[in-house]
Amino acid sequence: AQSVAQPEDQVNVAEGNPLTVKCTYSVSGNPYLFWYVQYPNRGLQFLLKYITGDNLVKGSYGFEAEFNKSQTSFHLKKPSALVSDSALYFCAVRDVGSQGNLIFGKGTKLSVKP
């Protein structure tokens, strides 16, 4: 069975500092991995995805994520946080080889303070 975990309900970062939002996953085969961001009372916006290839994936708004197969992780990172990055972040996974749907984590609230 597929699953995804976001171990932190909330992450607090000072503006200008690097940020990391953690995600670990479990699939039986190879994973498709996604990060989405949600601002209050809005839909989810796609940030980036990993399908295959380079383990470091670059996405929108300066975000990037590193796929680590041995640790089954796909952590979201940004070198310098902005106050406007404050939002709810969701990691999602599906098994490449299955017809299964996307499984979403419970979300991590990122708070960036000035």
Determine, following the binding rule CB under 8 A, whether residue 46 of this chain makes contact with another protein.
yes
Letters for 50-79 (x = contact with another protein by CB under 8 A, - = none) are: ------------------------------
- Using DSSP bridges, classify how beta strands 87-95 and 19-21 pair: parallel, antiparallel or unpaired: unpaired
Half-sphere exposure of 13 (CA within 13 A, CB side): 23
CB of 42 to another protein, least distance (A): 6
- Using DSSP bridges, classify how beta strands 73-78 and 64-68 pair: parallel, antiparallel or unpaired: antiparallel
Q: Which residues bind another protein (CB under 8 A)?
A: 9, 32, 34, 36, 41-46, 49, 90, 94, 99, 101-102, 104-107
